[in-house]
Chains A and B, each alone.
Chain A
């Protein structure tokens, strides 16, 4: 009871406190991961309708696993599946980093820290002197993991692919059957991603208590000391496991700029109408630009899942940009339009990413280029 009251109260408090955010999530000015999408890779002599031959699946990416394999975009995986994860990220400085991918199978909680907790439990079972080695093995030789760290990446056999962007995981065949039937809604494989501007290593205090929120991995800086968690990047993606159910990703058919199609190759000119440092969209001058999407219909799914639970997806659109201000950073798919204004902070070539996510892990994105010119 009091929780409800508290939520209402805090919501009102948030409203009282709202204002222009000087550091919005939508403006990407340093290294940032933006989205990760999953694609099931299945063996098939010929791809059925809805399956895309791997060679043609992602424009710009080379064939990876042979023409007899098909890629099925979607956030749900099945036991035994091989799933490819693709990361959307941006690093304006292209600084050197140590990259690491890892997984956890069926963590005790689907919250972000459940995966770390599972990793902690696994490592905690080992003698302390073996934990460091476990970490290395886990990263590089964990059963079921195909790609590991950047340097040891098995996908490097395909020289054209970027192992920082792609990662593959093999879902254990018993990942679902090993769980009680009533607990399978939480079945998942967590995919952990680290990017460290120093050297990654296992936290030596890991497993010795106080682990609930501690990260199992440390990023060591040039001075040999662990960097704060605000100085490296950690991300988690969940592959929800279902026996047969699929969750197709929502798709963007077209991006409209001031009502007109904005093709991927087209670079739009945007006048800088916001002062440098300006955080409030309503204080910017004109012109401002309408940005909206045309979504493939139906853009969201509803019904009853294979576990018998009813669901209705929420679908949201998140806008990101290297410079500029959005009127709204996040919109519901039912009302995707936002407005955008260029800022004098940084003139020249910029990038905009538009990501659409459904509430069951499905995701798609598009990238557009524009140029900020003096307004």
Chain B
């Protein structure tokens, strides 16, 4: 059953949380609704109050001047009637009884999903304040007036419960006459002498989403309400989901406000993903994602279903798409459905939200890392646009630092990203969208003093990383039960890196097309089918010595003849997928599916069957769900591994089999627990042997590797209420690999045994919010060097790595981060500021190991010291 929180209530955010959760569960059960598309799922429309009833103020309480608030959970059927009311937060027996009596008389317009009425649950609150009790008739009023009119008063509060002054409240009487009032400093407004009847109410405040309601004014009554409009930044929630029904195993849902308030992330939504179970901590300044012990290149990142090459700008300072443009983040650490493939690790799909429809909005934000802007709004009733951009400031301070260190800096590290979107409702059933987005990171420096450990690291060093995509998406709803979404994209990925005479340059031009049909067959069965097409042409230039075998140190490079290979080639990788969504009995959901991939470069069909199951052992609150799944996943080789002259023809795809099982348990409305065990069996991993004297590429790849990853993930979460949100995420895991069958299985470089993240954020009131994040992570694996071989051509030593590799672990990482936010609201805009402090207690966290010139002595390299980041934001 869907759960909603009454839109006008103070638990609006909770509504969305609960709604998302419940919607997930509901999809296993409800029927006849249009299935959500992969990028934009239809949102359920909450019920609206139709007949409002004021409870009777208990006389004894009134006499004593006692106030109370009673929070209820209402069960509303598909006709809008209240079929059940339950006290969630008591105000005392008398107040509770009065509330339940009144609640039974309430009438609603029922909640809908895709236009169809559905049952729902909502929180509802009655506030008993003796000031709101109908007063005695004013002696100046005529008896007739008193008898024929009522009044309507109310208070506006922010989601943080602060009073909202300066807002405009407009009411329209049944005959269409309107009148307006501004809320005072205490957020209060009053309309007196109103004729009885239903009034439409609209609340408008800068920085808040316009809010509509309908109230009934009764004769000789004073209606008192409390409205809590949402902040515009909360207009659309961002959900960070784990494997989410109906197609996967587990669900983690975070809303926008949680994501943007997590300490240590600078409010970056995609960096918030790093705090979820299954995500290892990346080394300092490495913008990579390590999901369930997989290598970074074994996970894919999509923006609205289109593959993009990177998720973070350099150094992991920021993600390539700003949080404000994100509608949702689907995070699938494993056992993902058949609509995704070509990787054996995890999936992140970032949904970009639609531009706002109500009016033009703007946002400007600056912090010590970057500055950004967003402008968006409607062009006409059917068309809206958005444009956004961001540029880093890092070059402003890092450039001088590099110069002081002896480098000539022509381009200090800088990054950009941009997004432009136009969206139009072509017909009632068809929405089309064009999105242009991209990212660019670059730097260029000249080192006048080459490195003593490898003189190649001198002279000109330049690096550019970027991509852009033009993406078109058409979503057509054939009926309430059939939805068809087509997403096509063309773009370019470009990487270039040069170090002295050595260089690597790759320009690729991916064309992708995803066509996805979702249809409800009957109330217990749905089908999902689609095509996922990818063609990538690329031009590559490599000028470097061929890499050595795994485990061998590649450098020093100086004095070794670079091999220059210039070539062009293309990849063609179509895929088809099907999945059934079955509910044979109430509470049980079965999800069999299969994905078939063709990899032209390996000349192979790869069939990946997948299956997931969820069973609500206890339905309703507090829900208990068992879940599990298994699936086969294939990852084609990287282009340089499989396409001549760089790679080895005949190479096959790597294969992984994912298994997962676990449970979810609700404890209270706010607190739930998710536990999941997983096992990944890795086969045909790609290894290599050095063949500089037999092949043009100098390396021959093979499929001789194998490995495994297993562990358990726990998420104990307190979902956000008016004051607090937080969670504890813990992952215990082990990742092992070997690249030759004769080698022993050893820990993988990305193995992290313990990953613990504890987050809490509390709203202090008056726009203040403070939060803490503490992390404890096992140290990263590394291969100690046990000495050096002198390379006479380089005049430097090549380290001798210990065998077997990754035999040592750095000391554990732990760090406390703190964040403080403050929001000021003005009549037409809002201003906010934050202070995000990383590493509050100045932990000297180990990030790596450095050696002396001949690798006979080592010392731990520590990461960043305390790093405060201050940011400000203005929003229209």
- A interface with B by C-beta (< 8 Å): 1-2, 4-18, 21, 23-26, 33-36, 75, 106-114, 117, 179-180, 182-183, 185-187, 193, 209-210, 212-215, 228-230, 233-238, 240, 309-314, 316, 318, 328-332, 335, 355, 357, 359-361, 363
Contact = CB atoms under 8 A, between A and B. Distances in A.
A11 B287 CA distance: 14
Contacts, number: 269
A182 to B, nearest CB: 4
B792 A183 contact: no
Nearest to A85: B792
Nearest to B739: A212
Given A4-B463, A213-B552, A318 B692 contact: no
Nearest to A26: B452
B795 A314 contact: no
A83 to B, nearest CB: 13
Q: Which of B548, B691, B863 has the most CB of A within 10 A?
A: B548
Contacts of A112: 553, 556, 789, 791, 798
Interface in B303-360: 309-310, 312, 314-316
Contacts of B798: 111-113
Contacts of A185: 561, 563, 692, 698
B51 interface: no
Interface stretch (B26-34, B379-387, B717-725, B852-860): B852-860
B795 A318 contact: yes
Contact of B786 (A26, A228, A328, A329): A228
A316 B855 CA distance: 22
Interface residues of B, number: 100
B401 A229 contact: no
16 contacts: A5-B465, A8-B314, A13-B863, A18-B405, A21-B852, A21-B853, A36-B792, A109-B548, A111-B552, A111-B555, A180-B696, A212-B551, A213-B801, A236-B790, A309-B563, A314-B455
A23 B559 CA distance: 24
Contacts of B854: 25, 230
A13 B850 CA distance: 11
A219 to B, nearest CB: 11
Contacts of B413: 8, 12
Given A15-B401, A332-B458, A186 B551 contact: no
Contacts of A229: 786-788, 800
A291 to B, nearest CB: 14
Contacts of B500: 314, 359
Interface string B658-700: 0000000000000000000000000000000111111110100
Contacts of A187: 693
B545 A111 contact: yes
B417 to A, nearest CB: 15
A117 B561 CA distance: 19
A235 B792 contact: yes
A9 B789 contact: no
B634 to A, nearest CB: 21
Interface SS, B side: loop
Contacts of A193: 792
Interface in B824-876: 847-848, 850, 852-857, 861-864
Interface in B455-478: 455-456, 458-459, 461, 463, 465
B740 to A, nearest CB: 9
Contacts of B560: 110-111, 238
A35 to B, nearest CB: 6
Given A6-B286, A330-B455, A212 B450 contact: no
A18 B695 CA distance: 40
Interface in B772-789: 786-789
B693 A186 contact: yes
Interface SS, A side: mixed
B315 A212 contact: no
B786 A212 contact: no
A117 B559 contact: no
A6 B448 CA distance: 22
A307 to B, nearest CB: 9
Given A13-B284, A112-B553, A311 B694 contact: no
B432 interface: no
Contacts of B259: none
Contacts of A17: 850, 861-862
B829 to A, nearest CB: 36
B449 to A, nearest CB: 5
A111 B548 contact: yes
Contact of A236 (B786, B791, B863): B791
A191 to B, nearest CB: 8
Contacts of A335: 448
Given A114-B548, A210-B803, A182 B695 contact: yes
A312 B561 contact: no
B310 A8 contact: no
Q: Which of B443, B465, B789, B861 has the most CB of A within 10 A?
A: B789
B283 interface: yes
Given A4-B495, A183-B694, A230 B455 contact: no
B66 interface: no
A244 to B, nearest CB: 16
A25 B788 CA distance: 12
A238 B315 contact: no
B692 A114 contact: yes
A2 B310 contact: yes
Contacts of A313: 501
Given A4-B465, A230-B786, 18 more contacts: A1-B493, A4-B463, A8-B285, A8-B443, A9-B284, A9-B285, A9-B314, A10-B285, A12-B398, A17-B861, A108-B690, A113-B798, A185-B692, A230-B856, A316-B458, A355-B795, A357-B559, A359-B455
Given A112-B553, A236-B789, A183 B861 contact: no
B297 interface: yes
B310 A314 contact: no
Given A24-B853, A314-B501, A233 B552 contact: no
A8 to B, nearest CB: 5
A6 B315 CA distance: 8
A321 to B, nearest CB: 13
B552 A9 contact: no
B743 interface: yes
A136 B553 CA distance: 28
A186 B691 CA distance: 9
B538 interface: no
A316 B454 CA distance: 11
A240 B561 contact: yes
A13 B563 contact: no
B690 A179 contact: no
Interface string B289-304: 0000000110000000
A290 B612 CA distance: 73
B458 A183 contact: no
Nearest to A302: B501
B309 A1 contact: yes
B794 interface: yes
Given A4-B497, A311-B501, A108 B689 contact: yes
Given A15-B405, A112-B798, A311-B501, A9 B315 contact: yes
B458 A230 contact: no
B794 A314 contact: no
Contacts of A25: 452-453, 796, 853-854
Nearest to A192: B789
A230 B115 CA distance: 75
B800 A213 contact: yes
B368 interface: no
B559 A238 contact: yes
A13 B316 CA distance: 13
A9 B283 contact: yes
A235 B790 contact: yes
B545 to A, nearest CB: 6
B619 interface: no
Nearest to A33: B790
A313 B847 CA distance: 34
A186 B563 contact: yes
